[in-house]
Amino acid sequence: MRATKIAISLMAALWVGTAAAQTVKIGLINTYSGPMASNGDQIQKSIDLFMKLNESKLPKGVKLEFIKRDDTGINPETAKRLAQELIVREKVDLITGVVWTPNAAAIAPLTAEAKVPFIIMNAGTAMLTTLSPYIARTSFTLWQSSYPMGEWAAKRYKTAYVAVSDFGPGHDAQDAFNKSFKSGGGTVVGNVRMPPPTSDFAPYLQRVKDAKPDALFVFVPAGKSATALMKGFGELGLGQAGIKLIGPGDITTDEELPNMGDVPLGVVTMFHYSAAGDRPANKTFVAEWQKAYGAKSWPNFISVGAWDAMQAIFDVVTQQKGKLNADKTMAILKGWKNPSSPRGPISIDPETRDIIQNEYVREVRRVGGNLANVELETIKAVKDPWKEINNKK
Ligand code: PHB
């Protein structure tokens, strides 16, 4: 008798609970293990911090439930299976996360088929957004940084060597830099593609040293690969040989600068985010990050991609009061804006669903005892040049 009463009151409590709460289910595909897990850590820390500071701003009774899945690194088959499970079994309202281009490309067709919005927090190959009308991206494209980098470099250097990781973002960085550096009058004396993930760059860097270019343009993925690249560049003495290292900001990623010794000093990169940016929104972001994770912990562009995706998700959820409709969600994302992201003003291009943002010319300098990507020049409101040049939507 007593047991029945307890059971009935428990059921009542549960019923009241469900009636009052509107839970939005978010499938989060991220890299939590394996040699590239530091990039996934940036995403997770950013989501946790955003939730801690903003959860109370959600409409009353609305909750976000993150269903986390580990893709373990560049692993398209795994990513596809995880997305399938999240869509079919978990019936998620949207998918987000995804550090790696090959994984995002494998997930994309499923989002189109099932009409599930997919907000890319990192993967940066230009064509990804063209693979499904249900994709929007809050991160960047490699064309956005590498194309203006080539224009900048052509005004300063006669010759350049181009070395990139042999997968989507590397190919984009290579194509973009080659195109703008050559049209600016520069000569590319060599191109090499290196397998990802690589930690031994010596054989490639030796070839570059022998070719004696004025500049070496490199893309390798942020995180430990970037630190390994910098170590190789220092050990082989390319800097002393007069070769200037340049690239997209992935190679001087903020959280790894403390692990790179003095080699990055003077390296110039083009990028949309620096932890050293002096915008008030960035000062607050970095201060909150260090309060949560310690004074030696630095957010990077991957955390900012996740941070801004979270703001977009909050806006989508708030405007629909927690009951998400896929087409309504995409309509809100098209043209979504944040005038004061830590990286500066950003918006989602309604035509391409890709991000429009500033690019900054940065140089690694010592600031208050730490190495920092100091922003020197701003190129405002850059759209993905690959889509602009090729008229892609
Ligand atoms: C990507 O897979 O698109 C990617 C990964 C790491 C980066 C940049 C792009 O640093």
Q: Tell whether the model's pLDDT for residue 149 goes beyond 80.
A: yes
Q: What are the pLDDT digits (tens) for 299-357?
A: 999 999 999 999 999 999 999 999 999 999 999 999 999 999 999 999 999 999 999 99
pLDDT of residue 16: 47
Q: Tell whether the model's pLDDT for residue 163 goes beyond 50.
A: yes
pLDDT of residue 28: 99
Asked whether the whole model's pTM tops 0.85, one would answer: yes
pLDDT band at 5 (very low <50, low <70, confident <90, very high): low
Residue of 128, 198, 250 to test ligand 1 pocket, by largest number of atoms within 8 Å of CB: 250
Mean pLDDT over each residue of the chain, to the nearest integer: 95
Instruction: Provide residues with CB under 6 Å of ligand 1.
Output: 99-101, 123-125, 168-169, 221-222, 250
What atom of ligand 1 comes closest to residue 74's alpha carbon? Answer: 2
pLDDT band at 87 (very low <50, low <70, confident <90, very high): very high
pLDDT of residue 7: 53
What atom of ligand 1 comes closest to residue 124's alpha carbon? Answer: 3
pLDDT band at 6 (very low <50, low <70, confident <90, very high): low
pLDDT of residue 109: 98
pLDDT of residue 366: 98
What atom of ligand 1 comes closest to residue 102's alpha carbon? Answer: 2
pLDDT of residue 8: 52
Rounded distance from Cα 302 to ligand 1 centre (Å): 9
% of the chain residues with pLDDT over 70 = 95
Rounded distance from Cα 99 to ligand 1 centre (Å): 6
Rounded mean pLDDT, 99-125: 98
pLDDT band at 19 (very low <50, low <70, confident <90, very high): very low
Q: Tell whether the model's pLDDT for residue 274 goes beyond 60.
A: yes
pLDDT of residue 1: 43
How many residues can be counted in the chain? 393
Q: What are the pLDDT digits (tens) for 364-385?
A: 999 999 999 999 999 999 999 9
List the residue whose alpha carbon is closest to atom 7 of ligand 1. Answer: 221
Rounded mean pLDDT, 25-33: 98
List the residue whose alpha carbon is closest to atom 3 of ligand 1. Answer: 123
Q: Tell whether the model's pLDDT for residue 197 goes beyond 90.
A: no
pLDDT band at 110 (very low <50, low <70, confident <90, very high): very high
Q: Tell whether the model's pLDDT for residue 11 goes beyond 60.
A: no
Rounded distance from Cα 8 to ligand 1 centre (Å): 52
Q: Specify whether the CB–CB gap between 352 and 111 falls below 8 A.
A: no
Q: Tokens 């978990």 label which residue?
A: 90
Q: Tell whether the model's pLDDT for residue 17 goes beyond 60.
A: no
pLDDT of residue 199: 85
Q: Tell whether the model's pLDDT for residue 13 goes beyond 70.
A: no
Q: Tell whether the model's pLDDT for residue 169 goes beyond 90.
A: yes
Bridge partners of 69?
Answer: 29
Q: What is the phi-psi region of residue 198: left when phi exceeds 0, alpha when psi lies from -120 to 50, beta otherwise?
A: beta
Residue of 29, 31, 101 to test ligand 1 pocket, by largest number of atoms within 8 Å of CB: 101
pLDDT band at 21 (very low <50, low <70, confident <90, very high): confident
